[in-house]
Amino acid sequence: MTAFPLMRTKWSNEHVMTGLFKVLILYLVPNWFENPMMILLFMAVVCSGLLVDVIANLIRYKRPICGVSAAVTAGIIHIVALDVPLYGQIAGVATALIVGKHLFGGTGKNIFNPAVIGILGLRFFYNMDLAIMAPSYFILPAVVLSLAFVKYRPVAALSFMTGMTLALIMSESMSMMMVIEYGVVFWGCLVLTDPVTVSLDPRIGLIFGLILGFVPLYLFDSIIALLIGILALNAISYVYERYSTKGIVNRGLSFKNNRIKALSDELMLSDGLIEEQYLALDALEEPSTSEVLERVSKSGVVGLGGGGFPTYKKIETVLDSQVNQKHLIINGVECDPGLIHDKWLMRRRSEGISKGIGILKRLIDFDSLTLAVKDKSDLEFSNDILIHQVKDYYPVGSEKILIRELLDRDLGRSIPAEQGILVLNVQTVYAIYEAVYYNKASDTKYLTVADVTAGTGYVTKVKLGEKIKEVVESIYPNSIQVFVGGGLMQSRIADEEDVIERNTNFIAIGDKPRYKESPLCSKCGMCEVHCPSKLKVRRITELIDQGSIEQAKELGGLECMSCGSCSYVCPAGRNLSSRLAFVKGFNIL
Amino acid sequence: MNKVYRDFFNDKEVLFVGYSSRNKGFCNGIHEAFSKHGIKVYPLNTKKSGNHDVKVYGGYEELPNVPKTAYILLNKGNTNKAVQELLKQDVKRILVHNKSHIDASVLSQCETKGIEVTAGCPMMLFGGGIHKVHGFFAGVN
């Protein structure tokens, strides 16, 4: 069974394209006031585009597919070729969609911008200027709204507009009207931002955007030069994206406004559990290294942040590590937007956590000791523990990202413990304290039980091996859909027989988000922009879908940390992280 | 054969025969629509291939219990085979996605055994938007 984020972006490719189509209409409105018959002309062109697209998609997918991208292509062609007769425009749209899009395999698979191909085709039969628009201030709303699309390829769009503006300045014809007339913003924001055909790499966007904006206008004043230039950029982008192996942008996700909120400060206990039930019957106040390791091992303490790796082995590795400097990082970041129990533990069990840290300090002579948190207000820890408030983004709490944030070290594929860096979750430290001081078996754990629809949850203490269904029933009775996993960003539907495992951190009820698994990837690159491992997510998942697992591994598929960011942001509604988990040969949960 | 109706799912659990990874988006949509209306879904696919978001049972023996209501999303040949298999189980109600997918002889077998068979897409009942429109024109409510 695959895991997935229990929430995802509200945006879809169809939303974006519909927005773009509306902006295109705004470009035409001034013309429609002058000549209302133009509305019929526009509708005829758009309908012809939709018809071609529907037929092609029915042949390819055997079912209707949203044709809004075809409407956008038709709209762009109509705006640029406004003086071309209707039959010419229809022929241009058909050429654009058949030659520019469907011959390459349909939406998202084309190398060249279909609208540019259609316009270039028309240019061979009809005369067209580089000045594509009638200078009118009524076009300004469309120009302003066009700027919203810069976000898809910001560097390419801004460079292109800069290049064209420079050309206008150097030819001493710079004015607002000229900017409108030459479609500086139109080309820059609506054509150069096409994610399917323009590379995400800002270097390509910067160089070719500038050249494309400047040269065709300044040297040739020719629309053919511009169109051929765009097609050349498309070809370069294709080759680059096809053969590059690493992403270059890494932007974390912010969940400041949509986190699970604690409904109560009280701890929920599953059946038969009593908090603090153990007594100091077998307490060790000053344990030796071997006593600590023995108790941690015998108690079965494992990484409770989700790793599930035996803690005594991790400590031993750091002890044996032959490095000059050793560091202890207590991870209380809890960056997943669904989790609330680490925050609760740090405020309600700070004494135990402090004693756990004390045990580790006596064990290893650390050069630094840091407690990493998202919010350090109300925390009560002794002064020798450095509390570091990290930037609030997801997945900053991931081990290697946290090391990068705190120690400014990129470990690559190295194991942190082998490098002398001991990273332990706060709950693991608390379990060490319980094991060493009270010889308590690590057979319970704190986790979050939430209602994702309401956005609220409870900190709950449960027994390992307890049935998930029973835990949920005691808090949210009669729930139909139950999820279990490491957090809101990586959960799966719970099975009837599922039990609390050591790596279970999150149980939730609510509705499963809609993953429509659209076949139409727009290559927007959001999956790559938000991948903390800088993977070429789109290319890797494409290879997985084709069954080329080995090639996917060669592209770094094994480096995926299963954070779920790619699935969260994908506007095509694809659960990409589950595909990557498949490459690793297992589902992470 | 009657069209599907809301009370058909009064048991609040349904066996989904033919939950396929090839048709993942659609199957997911139906699963979510059922779940949102408080109906527990038991997806079944005897081929059991693919990477699913939900637990898909590979056979009747794997099911914790066989629901009394079943929904079949299969082609014609497989629908008839699936109905034959459901006749062996204690299923009381069967919804087929398309009424042309079930043979008259199989239908009369069901009638003889007192099993109610209806046809239609469950999205017409539990989906939104265009599915509701489809349901309206198909006379499903």
**Residue-wise pLDDT tens digits, A69-107:** 999 999 999 999 999 999 999 999 999 999 999 999 988
Query: How high is the pLDDT of residue B49?
Result: 64
In this predicted structure, the answer to whether residue A589 has a pLDDT above a threshold of 50 is: no
Report whether A182 contacts A217 (CB < 8 A). yes
From CA A169, how far away is CA A178, in angstroms rounded? 10
In chain B, beta strands by DSSP E: 2-3, 13-17, 40-44, 69-72, 93-96, 116-119
The residues pairing with A196 across neighbouring beta strands, listed in sequence order, are none
Residue B114, chain A, CB below 8 Å: the answer is no
* Among A481, A492, A518, beta carbon nearest to B35: A481
Residue B28, chain A, CB below 8 Å: the answer is yes
What's the whole-number mean pLDDT along residues A373-400? Answer: 91
The dihedral of CA A396, A401, A405, A407: what is its sign?
positive
Listed residue (A456, A573, A443) closest to A501, CA to CA? A443
Q: Which residues of A touch B55 (CB under 8 A)?
A: 1, 493, 495
**In angstroms, what separates the C-alpha of A478 from chain B's closest C-alpha?**
9
Query: How high is the pLDDT of residue A564?
Result: 94
Residue B66, chain A, CB below 8 Å: the answer is no
Report pLDDT digits (tens) over A389-434.
Answer: 999 999 999 999 999 999 999 888 889 999 999 999 999 999 999 9
Q: Which residues of B touch A577 (CB under 8 A)?
A: none
Q: Which residue has the higher pLDDT, A168 or A412?
A: A168
Report pLDDT digits (tens) over A451-474.
Answer: 999 999 999 999 999 999 999 999
Contacts for A519 with CB less than 8 Å, ≥ 6 apart: A61, A65, A106
Q: Which residues of B touch A518 (CB under 8 A)?
A: 25
In this predicted structure, the answer to whether residue A276 has a pLDDT above a threshold of 80 is: no
Query: How high is the pLDDT of residue A188?
Result: 97
Query: How high is the pLDDT of residue B48?
Result: 60
Listed residue (A336, A482, A552, A558) closest to A1, CA to CA? A482
Q: Which residue of B has its CA nearest to A578?
A: B51
What's the whole-number mean pLDDT along residues A348-362? Answer: 92
The conformational region for residue A523 under phi > 0 = left, psi -120 to 50 = alpha, else beta, is left
CB contact under 8 Å between B51 and A511, yes or no, is no
Report whether A35 contacts A45 (CB < 8 A). no
- Spell out which chain A residues touch chain B, with contact meaning CB-CB distance below 8 angstroms: 1-2, 4, 480-481, 492-493, 495-497, 511-512, 514-518, 573, 575, 578-579, 582
Percent of chain A predicted with pLDDT > 70 = 97
CB contact under 8 Å between B32 and A578, yes or no, is no
Query: How high is the pLDDT of residue B50?
Result: 65
Query: How high is the pLDDT of residue A588?
Result: 41
From CA A484, how far away is CA A494, in angstroms rounded? 6
Report pLDDT digits (tens) over A220-239.
Answer: 999 999 999 999 999 999 99
Q: For residue A111, give both structure tokens.
A: 């190398």
Report pLDDT digits (tens) over A279-320.
Answer: 445 566 677 888 889 999 999 999 998 878 999 999 999 999
Give the pLDDT band of residue A15 (cuts 50, 70, 90).
very high
**In angstroms, what separates the C-alpha of B104 from chain A's closest C-alpha?**
28
Query: How high is the pLDDT of residue A587?
Result: 46
CB contact under 8 Å between A515 and B51, yes or no, is no
Report whether A385 contacts A371 (CB < 8 A). yes
Q: Which residues of B touch A493 (CB under 8 A)?
A: 53-55
Q: Which residue of A has its CA nearest to B65?
A: A496
**In angstroms, what separates the C-alpha of A540 from chain B's closest C-alpha?**
16
Least confident range of A243-257, A323-337, A338-352, A419-433: A243-257
Selected residue of A481, A562, A589 to mutate for chain B interface (largest B Cβ count, 10 A): A481
Query: How high is the pLDDT of residue A104?
Result: 93
Q: What single string gives the DSSP state of each residue in B91-113?
A: --EEEES-GGGS-HHHHHHHHHT
CB contact under 8 Å between A512 and B39, yes or no, is no
Query: How high is the pLDDT of residue A395?
Result: 94
CB contact under 8 Å between A1 and B28, yes or no, is no
Q: Which residue of A has its CA nearest to B37?
A: A480
**In angstroms, what separates the C-alpha of A574 from chain B's closest C-alpha?**
9
From CA A447, how far away is CA A340, in angstroms rounded? 8
In this predicted structure, the answer to whether residue A1 has a pLDDT above a threshold of 90 is: no
From CA A249, how far away is CA A529, in angstroms rounded? 5
What's the whole-number mean pLDDT along residues A108-131? Answer: 94
From CA B44, how far away is CA B62, in angstroms rounded? 9
For Cα atoms A281, A285, A287, give the angle at the middle one, nearest 5 degrees.
110
Contacts for A202 with CB less than 8 Å, ≥ 6 apart: A154, A155, A248, A249
Give the pLDDT band of residue A586 (cuts 50, 70, 90).
low
Selected residue of B54, B57, B131 to mutate for chain A interface (largest A Cβ count, 10 A): B54
Per-residue pLDDT of chain B in tens (141 residues, 90 and over written 9): 788 898 999 999 999 999 987 777 788 889 989 988 889 999 999 886 667 778 889 899 989 889 999 999 998 889 999 999 999 998 999 999 988 889 999 999 999 999 999 999 999 999 888 888 888 888 887
Report pLDDT digits (tens) over A250-275.
Answer: 788 988 888 999 988 888 887 767 66
* Among B31, B38, B52, beta carbon nearest to A2: B52
Listed residue (A252, A395, A420) closest to A329, CA to CA? A420
CB contact under 8 Å between A514 and B64, yes or no, is no
Query: How high is the pLDDT of residue A449?
Result: 97
CB contact under 8 Å between A514 and B28, yes or no, is yes
Q: Is A328 helix (H, G, I), strand (E, B) or coil?
A: strand
Q: Which residues of A touch B25 (CB under 8 A)?
A: 515-518, 573
Q: Which residues of B touch A517 (CB under 8 A)?
A: 24-25, 28
